[in-house]
Structure 1
């Protein structure tokens, strides 16, 4: 069998047989990897006959598209002959020649040619900017880990009521935005799976964040997730027992439709089988329940209707809590309000993978190729959308997820935004090193993102860190989708920190991220201590001392003050970010309040207390601290 034919099929399917690594060295994907990935995409390539059949399937799919995207005031993207009927989203209809069509209305339209109908999404030139949303050239916001919040009442971990309180306190300090860690649905039956970036579904909420009605056992500085979640869930069951129905609840369930009911059914099944000793996730259930359309599942839904209704109630309660938090942020003076966080992928054992399996890439997991920090690459154990399914389904799965992220938010951060263009996919059981890049319909996804952002009057931030393809950031900027400029990464070729006045304007400037040590901890070498203790490779103390000197030099040169210790380093770091040319500056709570430990350490699971650290006090107390007041005053003055 010819490798040339295999490579041609791979290229047509969007796989990169050749790519360049983080040192710009050319790399070639092994034929067996290409065959495995193609097979997982539903394009068998084990023989010349299979390659021919898979190529024919791609031909048929491309002949007459089901859904296309285009730009407002630009020629039609549909190049088909014949007289067609264009029906705009508002119901107006016109006869037209698709080849000579220019549409001046953004939205979701329909084009009918004979018996064939094509969905047509027309996007605005760009998404809303910070000036569009705030009326000012520059603004600032905070970032918060939702689970880490504390309030006046005893809680085991944060909730949406405490998020609202934090948002109001941040607004009073002058913030226009509050970036929030992912609130995606996890596994309420298995609170030991608590990473916010491995969700069961991104289309629904983590019900454990729903506001409790009564006090809970007070948690410590580190969350004991199984114990704290059990207490939260017990309180929510009591609230449901007292629930007598509500018109708002009925409307919410009707609006959510089959997708919401499917998620609630998954949750009820997961609780049921966990209680019987099965593992978490649908693969651990008896095989009769693996198919959501099976008779066994239908019988369970009938017999356990109240259990399913309980999980519908929990989603409604969480949705109301998030709506109140965003409304409170806006009423307190935030021009943007909450910025949600959209994880890049999904747990393979979760609700989405069970109820809508055909939308995802089966038999593949997402990760990252080798880089300077991970020589063997990374396998994240999550899955994502199938690019073929996206096009065949008119991008509905992607749109559903975007709309959930923007439902009660003034913006969204797209985790690993490079995935809008390509993802590193790994065949199940293979090493991360033995993966390949899978292309996604980048222009389509960018247009839809700009369209949904415009409809929701929302800001979009794309995490554009890592091995960034050439031109990717330029394409983000053209659509006014903000990138990210991280203080410790903004350096020249000699390793010196760059002048923040030269940072990209179409970007969100940040002191740190959830995967990095806060500035104070970085100055003290807390991350070096952790990595040394865990034996996972660390920067030398000498190299860090040199970096501290470079940091202090940049602070002096930029007028951010003299740095002589960790506290002055935090002040200088915030001052540098505040002085940046970026439209938006975001300072995580860890830096606003001078904390030293990171929320997460990539490459670890239980060795480091990932996603378990709590803030030391309620929001009102934290913002009243003199150091925090000094930092928020600096941000207000520099960003006004």
Structure 2
């Protein structure tokens, strides 16, 4: 009989964890059993489970090599070879190892098998296998290499599977100036919130270019963005707009395309006539003036014009440099790009037919599998529609890159920094087009119970299974990191705890019934380091909340930047830690997209709003308000003690308002800190009081839709913004 709990141990499912209060929590046996099921093990069918385990075991030992080996500078440069013991008993057995390097070079070595050290042995289903330690004779260049092993004796031969041999640096990339001690500031922005005189009701990539240049002119060195991941352009549901629940993490949300910046528009009179028509201009005027982003109105307006351009201009014309540029983009995007475009086109097709195709799960059965011949035929029959969505990805990638290059050419040290969401939704293109079979649609990523969420959290994001990732040689993760480190100088990894472990629950079950499953932190950090250097991309790990000490140490060792939020950095006595005492290898911030703005926090608007939305009871709101008053006083005490505010400001927090001058004092207070990076929010420059997102809500609040209260062009002309940013720059330089 199979011991389910021992099997769970073997598959990396934790038995215990330390919670947010540092208390040891035991995960129930039933939760661990449920997680095995999510990972693909039929725990309620003993015979089927045994058959699957036997197959996995046999596959591992008969494949000779592992599917993937990740080596860093600090590792012994070696890997393991598994051969039946009978080969080792044959003195004539020869081992041939062939390496095909990423640059095309080949290295081959022949050696008697008996000269390869035996590290261990195992009896697998009646056959004894030697596990031999093969040491590489020379250092290999960083990169993705292919390794094959061939063993030949007098009586038989044995050939391995191809192993991906990934050689990585031991540290991520950090700009030279930062390594030498320079301290800089920048802006974190939700791009969709940006108002401007010319955008179409949502911040776009032209706005991003102006934002980058405006911040740089003020002395800032980066602009951090919300995730730019692909959304669902055909889905009309306003609740499907969260940047943290995307359709694909390897492609871009086409809603951010600046239509007036599209080069093909210049030669397309029908599109120009449509845009300049009185009716369309009125439509844009309404979209710009709305308090909240009208995602459906914006995407429909943009797609209408972009389709007119596409239908009237041959975008894939081989005779033009522009057409060839698009064709190169298509070639580089490969199968993944085609699948992304097919999914968008299929969803649009269904909606036009009156079907609520919010997910691939409601497609007709023959279209639910990306590898289906029916999908391939549909793609051929609707080639122009698929090509249109490829073209949209081309424009989005081009404009994002143009904004980044413009900032870098102007002299900005980091430029754009992108945000990588922790996962994708079950209804996403990434799950539908999962050719590597790494996703588990029956599971949901989340968080265990803690004081802020006593019932735990389930985010509806499909987890990748650790074993399947290794079997796929981490290809999906590599593609994702490569895509998200383009056109930026830094990347923020949301919920970086997922590099070590993820809390996973069965979809539809209470989040408290989940369990932690472990991933190969060594391998993932190695791949991140490799791509970080290749793209000259600094890495910021969002390590807030309950982070295992093993991960904290590993992130610091690899050179990833920690994330420090001022309101969370408190000493044991309740006082606020001086920013000068923060670690230098970090980015600090006052507020984030999941928090109230400075005005909202200081005035407790988040508590009153939370009470209205049913997040807090009357009693809870009163208790939290008392804690807030104490926190405000401790902040004021700290600022006065460190000389961050003048004596003109009262020492009694009840008498202090969140004025522009006090908000500026807080920004300067942080800029004097020791963190290499400080991130500020434009909301706090201009006194926005409403949050952009309220965790724990869905339809109760218009999350991810609130706009800024001033146009981008106006903000950088505000005198107090000019004064504040100059003092911030001076404080950082000192």
TM-score, normalization by structure 2: 0.83
Contact 2:571 2:577 in 1 (8 A): yes
Return the alpha-carbon distance in structure 2 between the equivalents of residues 238 and 94 of structure 1: 55
Structure 1 residues 365, 128: CA separation in 2 closer, same or farther (over 3 Å shift)?
Answer: same
Contact 1:130 1:139 in 2 (8 A): no
Structure 1 residues 23, 136: CA separation in 2 closer, same or farther (over 3 Å shift)?
Answer: closer
Query: Alpha-carbon deviation of 1:618?
Result: 3.0
1:566 and 2:658 matched: yes
1:233 and 2:300 matched: no
1:534 and 2:613 matched: yes
Query: Alpha-carbon deviation of 1:345?
Result: 0.7
What's the secondary structure of 1:263's corresponding residue? helix
Residue equivalent to 1:425: 504
Residue equivalent to 1:66: 67
Residue equivalent to 1:197: 244
Contact 2:688 2:709 in 1 (8 A): no
Structure 1 residues 296, 367: CA separation in 2 closer, same or farther (over 3 Å shift)?
Answer: same
Return the alpha-carbon distance in structure 1 between the equivalents of residues 214 and 329 of structure 2: 30
Give 1:181-580 correspondences, 5 Å limit.
Answer: 181-191=226-236, 192=238, 193-213=240-260, 214=275, 216-217=284-285, 218-245=288-315, 246-279=323-356, 280-356=358-434, 358-537=437-616, 538=621, 540-562=624-646, 564-567=656-659, 568-580=661-673
Contact 1:172 1:333 in 2 (8 A): no
Return the alpha-carbon distance in structure 2 between the equivalents of residues 254 and 87 of structure 1: 23
Residue equivalent to 2:266: none
Return the alpha-carbon distance in structure 1 between the equivalents of residues 407 and 701 of structure 2: 33
Query: Alpha-carbon deviation of 1:251?
Result: 1.3
What's the secondary structure of 1:359's corresponding residue? coil
Structure 1 residues 636, 57: CA separation in 2 closer, same or farther (over 3 Å shift)?
Answer: farther
Return the alpha-carbon distance in structure 1 between the equivalents of residues 414 and 330 of structure 2: 28
Give 1:144-155 correspondences, 5 Å limit.
Answer: 144-155=189-200
1:89 and 2:80 matched: no
Return the alpha-carbon distance in structure 2 between the equivalents of residues 46 and 489 of structure 1: 44
Query: Alpha-carbon deviation of 1:51?
Result: 4.9
Match of 1:138 among 157, 176, 183: 183
Return the alpha-carbon distance in structure 2 between the equivalents of residues 66 and 471 of structure 1: 26
Cα displacement string for residues 598-617 of structure 1 (whole angstroms, at most 9, x for unaligned residues) = 21110011222211111223
1:110 and 2:146 matched: yes
Match of 1:591 among 684, 695, 701: 684
1:13 and 2:11 matched: yes
Match of 2:44 among 26, 43, 46: 46
What's the secondary structure of 1:179's corresponding residue? strand
Query: Alpha-carbon deviation of 1:134?
Result: 8.1
Structure 1 residues 311, 361: CA separation in 2 closer, same or farther (over 3 Å shift)?
Answer: same
Moved more, 550-559 or 363-372: 550-559
Structure 1 residues 630, 43: CA separation in 2 closer, same or farther (over 3 Å shift)?
Answer: same
**How many pairs are equivalent?**
638
Contact 2:192 2:204 in 1 (8 A): yes
Cα displacement string for residues 325-382 of structure 1 (whole angstroms, at most 9, x for unaligned residues) = 1111112221111111111010111111111161212210111111111110111111
Return the alpha-carbon distance in structure 2 between the equivalents of residues 7 and 485 of structure 1: 38
Return the alpha-carbon distance in structure 1 between the equivalents of residues 555 and 399 of structure 2: 32
Query: Alpha-carbon deviation of 1:593?
Result: 3.0
Contact 1:45 1:54 in 2 (8 A): no
Q: Runs of 5+ in structure 1 lacking a partner? A: none
Query: Alpha-carbon deviation of 1:199?
Result: 0.2
What's the secondary structure of 1:380's corresponding residue? strand
Cα displacement string for residues 158-214 of structure 1 (whole angstroms, at most 9, x for unaligned residues) = 111111111111111111111011111110001421111000001111111111125
What's the secondary structure of 1:514's corresponding residue? coil
Structure 1 residues 61, 165: CA separation in 2 closer, same or farther (over 3 Å shift)?
Answer: farther
TM-score, normalization by structure 1: 0.95
Contact 1:134 1:336 in 2 (8 A): no
Moved more, 213-222 or 53-62: 53-62
Structure 1 residues 236, 135: CA separation in 2 closer, same or farther (over 3 Å shift)?
Answer: farther
Moved more, 503-512 or 397-406: 503-512
Contact 2:74 2:170 in 1 (8 A): no
Return the alpha-carbon distance in structure 2 between the equivalents of residues 48 and 152 of structure 1: 65
Return the alpha-carbon distance in structure 2 between the equivalents of residues 26 and 61 of structure 1: 37
Return the alpha-carbon distance in structure 2 between the equivalents of residues 422 and 502 of structure 1: 29
CA RMSD of aligned residues (A): 2.1
What's the secondary structure of 1:178's corresponding residue? strand
Return the alpha-carbon distance in structure 1 between the equivalents of residues 689 and 58 of structure 2: 56
Moved more, 558-567 or 327-336: 558-567
Cα displacement string for residues 305-341 of structure 1 (whole angstroms, at most 9, x for unaligned residues) = 1111111111111111111111111122211111111
Match of 2:35 among 34, 37, 44: 37
Query: Alpha-carbon deviation of 1:223?
Result: 1.3
Residue equivalent to 2:135: 100
Query: Alpha-carbon deviation of 1:302?
Result: 2.0
What's the secondary structure of 1:611's corresponding residue? coil
Contact 2:174 2:536 in 1 (8 A): no
Return the alpha-carbon distance in structure 2 between the equivalents of residues 110 and 252 of structure 1: 25
Residue equivalent to 1:607: 700
Return the alpha-carbon distance in structure 2 between the equivalents of residues 560 and 86 of structure 1: 60
Contact 2:594 2:692 in 1 (8 A): yes
Contact 2:221 2:415 in 1 (8 A): yes
Return the alpha-carbon distance in structure 2 between the equivalents of residues 269 and 448 of structure 1: 33
Cα displacement string for residues 443-492 of structure 1 (whole angstroms, at most 9, x for unaligned residues) = 10011101100111110111101111123222101011111000100111
Contact 1:72 1:103 in 2 (8 A): no
1:637 and 2:635 matched: no
Return the alpha-carbon distance in structure 1 between the equivalents of residues 475 and 481 of structure 2: 10
Residue equivalent to 2:653: none
Q: Runs of 5+ in structure 2 lacking a partner? A: 83-94, 111-115, 117-132, 151-158, 261-274, 276-280, 316-322, 650-655
What's the secondary structure of 2:249's corresponding residue? strand
Return the alpha-carbon distance in structure 2 between the equivalents of residues 599 and 507 of structure 1: 24
Return the alpha-carbon distance in structure 2 between the equivalents of residues 569 and 602 of structure 1: 27
Moved more, 364-373 or 377-386: 377-386
Query: Alpha-carbon deviation of 1:144?
Result: 0.8
Query: Alpha-carbon deviation of 1:249?
Result: 1.1
Match of 2:215 among 170, 178, 181: 170
